Chains A and B, each alone.
Chain A
Amino acid sequence: MMQSQSQSQGPVAAGGLFDHYPAAALPGTFDEMFDGITPRTPFARVAQLLAKMTPDELSRAQALAETALLQQGVTFSVYGDARGTEKIFPFCLLPRLIAASDFARLERGLQQRLRALGAFLDDIYGEQKILTAGVIPAEMILGAAGYRPMLRGLRPPGGVRIHISGVDLIRDHDGTWRVLEDNLRTPSGVSYVVENRLISKRLFPRVFDAARVHRVDHYPTRLAEALRSVSPVEEANAVVLTPGPYNSAYFEHSFLARTMGLELVQAPDLVVDGDKVYCRTTRGPRRVDVIYRRTDESFLDPEVFRPDSVLGIPGLMRAYAAGNVALANAPGNGVADDKAVYPFVPKMIEFYLGEQPLLEQVHTYVCLFDEDRRYVLEHLGELVVKAVDEAGGYGMLMGPQSTEAEREEFRRKIIAEPRRYIAQHRIELSACPTWIAERGTIEPRRVDLRPYILTSREGPWVLPGGLTRVALARGSYVVNSSQGGGSKDTWVMKETTGG
């Protein structure tokens, strides 16, 4: 296909590579890069530079990017494949841009949210004032799968519980940013943020230079500082704990250990003696003070959580309770990122901080409440229903696309276990120009954003970037990597300095 090589000047239309793009825009959807045929003002320069590229150049660049990712082993393991097949996370080389002013607002909103969520966890595992005050119904919290009563009264070393978080954000039909969910246990994906950046800098050096983008490669340094800040001792020995090479996120575990210069350990490498944690080394046992654990907490300590687990470290929780080892993230955080607790976060912000929430979220019907449940059951065909304890896009009813039988099934489930279900109206996720390799064209595809927030003793810090996940299939809303999603590099632009 011939693309016109128009050398369009000025801010009107980017043309060139984007010639056929606006026509493909999704109705009722906010396009992040273009307003009609005009690139949005902060992105005009980048759009013009990208427009000058040809489909051939983009094809070559895309192939280069994929080869580089494969050769560096930036892959995830495919579960259930005996040959240990590894795949690259599909990567779209066209970056997703975020204006400086937008990100500044997000940053303040995320810091506020993390302060409130941290206060909430301290309270729930302490006095439970928010329940006494009746701000959140007690059964909502005490019945959450992630609530760990045995942790009550336990103060984590350094006072931090949510050292690492990833908060999923979306933009609705008019471009408003909204929180979709919080990930406060073991959020993954940050390694792709750093690796994607390395690749886009190699592929688009001139565009990148002109765009003036915040760096993301200092994330591991900031993470190491956050981990050291909560150590019970001065000279901390911190380690990264992985379930092992068969875990789908193993690349990321080893990436983080390597870029922080820490040792990557597995549960059998650790042993607890006298409520202290040691690592088995070739020179005998060595003390461990901080563990960045990427294992699920159910598998941390068979003495406390799952006695059938062979993965755990017996006695770890005793060492933790004695204040001899810091765990990041703290066990018990699941009660705060429960999908049924999410609707109450704005109230938490008011209750603990006395502030108005800076970030919008998505209106949520809590099926436990009679009035909400009645509405949900009457409007199943319009709503997205989610099981509160499932992730990765599973356990969902997409109302508008559902069959009568599926709706019936969910109706029965909701009536049987109302606590397990919430519902939301479907949000028209915003779209970004995305390279469609099979057709050699650029088309709009829906995206979300997972920024990463690190909390040290000094408070929360937001990485100026994040993981943009993109639903690569035409018309799809599902961005999860397990269901055909890909990723994009996320360029958070610097404030313009008048030049």
Chain B
Amino acid sequence: MISRVADHCFWFGRYVERAESTARMLAASVSLALDAELPAAQVWRPMLVVSGEEDEFRTRITGGDDDAGAWGDGEIVQRFMVWDEANGVSLARSVTGMRWNARSIREVLSLESWEAVNELHLWMRSDAAPAIYAQHRDAFYQHVRRATQLTLGLVRSTMLHDEPLDFMWLGVLLERVSQTARMLDVHHHAFTNLPRRHEVVETALWLSMLRALSGSEAFLKRAAGRVSSEGVARFLLSESAFPRSIAYCVHSAYDRLCNIRPPDHHTLPGGISLERLRVLDVWVRARENDPLTGTAVHDVLTHVVDEVHEICGTLGKELLAGG
């Protein structure tokens, strides 16, 4: 397929996943803030860290003040993460990005998928979205999540399962690896450094984080109800049957890239990305039985995030419009 079109497919997938993920994390934080008995900043600040926009928030919203009330003000953080057009990962920007890429490949998407994307875009720009946001916050996030999940479902059920879909899904999966990795890293660090470790609070926090990753039920099934920081970390890193674990996403991304660029077609472009993703896949799976003590979780996640970043760069050069 045309490299430029592949690029739009890839970024379409990333933006859809990012929009869904942002809405899910914000909804989980709203719920957590209600009964976590945590200082508010410890609920909201991690959201900003996970999104990678902590610095932007500090300079633009708090005026550089690390003790400003804004860090713990859920309304300010949510406005920044939902509506702020200058915040590159706000929901508004993700929806615009998803729709812009979709419109650029309108002829590639199925009619059903396109309408789902376009309706979300029009809704976000209508008066209805801010009204629901003001009156019924949870319903707002629910709406965004439903629309993005519907989109991902529709591309799978109404489009040809060939290259464009592989590129979209590659984008979804690589975005998801980063989201899961950053989410786990930030929270693992915060929770294991709580001043007074309290089992009930910690359990509530882990479950909230799992909910933010749509993973609490899946985790409880695997862990038979036992919640521990190591158990959660191992589940999110290595559970090969959970579609948001790092092992699952990296392996599926590798599968998708194999469809796009079969490993035995040595003359086709994409070989460097494919090899790098294969190595990462093997490496992640080899971590399955490593002890997760000390900084082990952080080290593993840092490696994953850095590698995914590099792989996206190589993909851009080899297969997408950057080449």
Closest A-chain residue to B119, C-beta based? A71
* B114 contact set on A, CB distance < 8 A: 72-73
Taking A245-B103, A282-B163, A282-B269 as contacts, is the C-beta distance between A73 and B118 under 8 angstroms? yes
Of A261-269, A320-328, A397-405, the stretch lying at the interface with chain B is A261-269
Task: Please tell me if A216 contacts chain B, counting CB pairs below 8 Å.
Answer: no
Are B2 and A280 in contact, CB atoms less than 8 angstroms apart? Answer: yes
Task: Please tell me if A104 contacts chain B, counting CB pairs below 8 Å.
Answer: no
Task: Please tell me if B158 contacts chain A, counting CB pairs below 8 Å.
Answer: no
Are A282 and B260 in contact, CB atoms less than 8 angstroms apart? Answer: yes
Q: Whole-angstrom distance from the CB of B298 to the nearest CB of chain A?
A: 36
**Which residue of B2, B111, B268, B269 is within 8 Å of A265 (Cβ)?**
B2
List CB contacts (< 8 Å) of A248-262 with chain B.
250-251, 254-255, 257-258, 262
* B3 contact set on A, CB distance < 8 A: 269, 280-282
8 A/B residue pairs, CB under 8 Å, sorted by A:
A71-B118, A245-B100, A254-B106, A263-B2, A264-B5, A266-B4, A280-B2, A284-B269
Q: How far is the CA of A16 from the CA of B155 in the complex (A)?
A: 47
Closest B-chain residue to A85, C-beta based? B125
Are A282 and B319 in contact, CB atoms less than 8 angstroms apart? Answer: yes
Task: Please tell me if B1 contacts chain A, counting CB pairs below 8 Å.
Answer: yes
Closest B-chain residue to A68, C-beta based? B115
* B2 contact set on A, CB distance < 8 A: 263, 265, 269, 279-282
Task: Please tell me if B107 contacts chain A, counting CB pairs below 8 Å.
Answer: yes
* A250 contact set on B, CB distance < 8 A: 103
* A280 contact set on B, CB distance < 8 A: 2-4
Are B4 and A263 in contact, CB atoms less than 8 angstroms apart? Answer: no
Task: Please tell me if B104 contacts chain A, counting CB pairs below 8 Å.
Answer: yes
**Which residue of B4, B106, B268, B269 is within 8 Å of A258 (Cβ)?**
B106
Are A281 and B107 in contact, CB atoms less than 8 angstroms apart? Answer: no
Identify whether the interface residues of B are mostly helix, strand, loop, or mixed: helix
Task: Please tell me if A437 contacts chain B, counting CB pairs below 8 Å.
Answer: no
Are A268 and B4 in contact, CB atoms less than 8 angstroms apart? Answer: yes
List CB contacts (< 8 Å) of A218-273 with chain B.
244-245, 250-251, 254-255, 257-258, 262-266, 268-269
Are A73 and B1 in contact, CB atoms less than 8 angstroms apart? Answer: no
Identify whether the interface residues of A are mostly helix, strand, loop, or mixed: mixed
Interface centre among A264, A265, A279, A284 (most CB of B within 10 A): A264
List CB contacts (< 8 Å) of A54-73 with chain B.
70-73
Mark B69-101 against chain A: 1 for CB-CB distance below 8 A, else 0: 000000000000000000000000000000010
Task: Please tell me if A439 contacts chain B, counting CB pairs below 8 Å.
Answer: no
Q: How far is the CA of A268 from the CA of B3 in the complex (A)?
A: 10
Task: Please tell me if A283 contacts chain B, counting CB pairs below 8 Å.
Answer: yes
Q: How far is the CA of A351 from the CA of B106 in the complex (A)?
A: 46
Task: Please tell me if B6 contacts chain A, counting CB pairs below 8 Å.
Answer: yes
Task: Please tell me if B122 contacts chain A, counting CB pairs below 8 Å.
Answer: yes
Task: Please tell me if B215 contacts chain A, counting CB pairs below 8 Å.
Answer: no
Q: How far is the CA of A474 from the CA of B293 in the complex (A)?
A: 78
* A262 contact set on B, CB distance < 8 A: 107
* A255 contact set on B, CB distance < 8 A: 106-107
Q: How far is the CA of A214 from the CA of B212 in the complex (A)?
A: 55
Taking A71-B118, A73-B118, A282-B269 as contacts, is the C-beta distance between A258 and B107 under 8 angstroms? yes
Are B268 and A284 in contact, CB atoms less than 8 angstroms apart? Answer: yes
Q: Whole-angstrom distance from the CB of A281 to the nearest CB of chain B?
A: 6
Task: Please tell me if B270 contacts chain A, counting CB pairs below 8 Å.
Answer: yes
List CB contacts (< 8 Å) of A261-310 with chain B.
262-266, 268-269, 279-284
* B4 contact set on A, CB distance < 8 A: 266, 268-269, 280
Are A72 and B115 in contact, CB atoms less than 8 angstroms apart? Answer: yes
6 tightest Cβ-Cβ pairs between the two chains A and B: A258-B107, A254-B106, A257-B107, A254-B107, A264-B107, A73-B118
* B107 contact set on A, CB distance < 8 A: 254-255, 257-258, 262-264
Q: Whole-angstrom distance from the CB of A68 to the nearest CB of chain B?
A: 10
Interface centre among B1, B2, B260, B268 (most CB of A within 10 A): B2
* B321 contact set on A, CB distance < 8 A: 268
Mark B138-166 against chain A: 1 for CB-CB distance below 8 A, else 0: 00000000000000000000000001000
Q: How far is the CA of A258 from the CA of B122 in the complex (A)?
A: 22
Interface centre among A84, A265, A280, A281 (most CB of B within 10 A): A281
Q: How far is the CA of A427 from the CA of B323 in the complex (A)?
A: 56
Q: How far is the CA of A84 from the CA of B4 in the complex (A)?
A: 20
Mark B104-135 against chain A: 1 for CB-CB distance below 8 A, else 0: 11110001001100110010000000000000
Give me 16 other A-B pairs in contact (C-beta within 8 A), A73-B106, A280-B2 excluded.
Answer: A70-B122, A71-B119, A72-B118, A73-B114, A245-B100, A245-B103, A254-B106, A258-B106, A263-B1, A264-B5, A264-B106, A280-B3, A281-B2, A282-B2, A282-B269, A283-B269
Q: How far is the CA of A490 from the CA of B65 in the complex (A)?
A: 64
**Which residue of A70, A73, A265, A268 is within 8 Å of B103 (Cβ)?**
A73
* A265 contact set on B, CB distance < 8 A: 2
* B118 contact set on A, CB distance < 8 A: 71-73
Are A283 and B268 in contact, CB atoms less than 8 angstroms apart? Answer: yes
Q: Whole-angstrom distance from the CB of A473 to the nearest CB of chain B?
A: 27
Q: How far is the CA of A282 from the CA of B111 in the complex (A)?
A: 24
* B6 contact set on A, CB distance < 8 A: 282
Q: How far is the CA of A281 from the CA of B162 in the complex (A)?
A: 14
Q: How far is the CA of A268 from the CA of B1 in the complex (A)?
A: 14
* A269 contact set on B, CB distance < 8 A: 2-4
List CB contacts (< 8 Å) of B1-29 with chain A.
1-6
Q: How far is the CA of A84 from the CA of B85 in the complex (A)?
A: 15
* A254 contact set on B, CB distance < 8 A: 103, 106-107
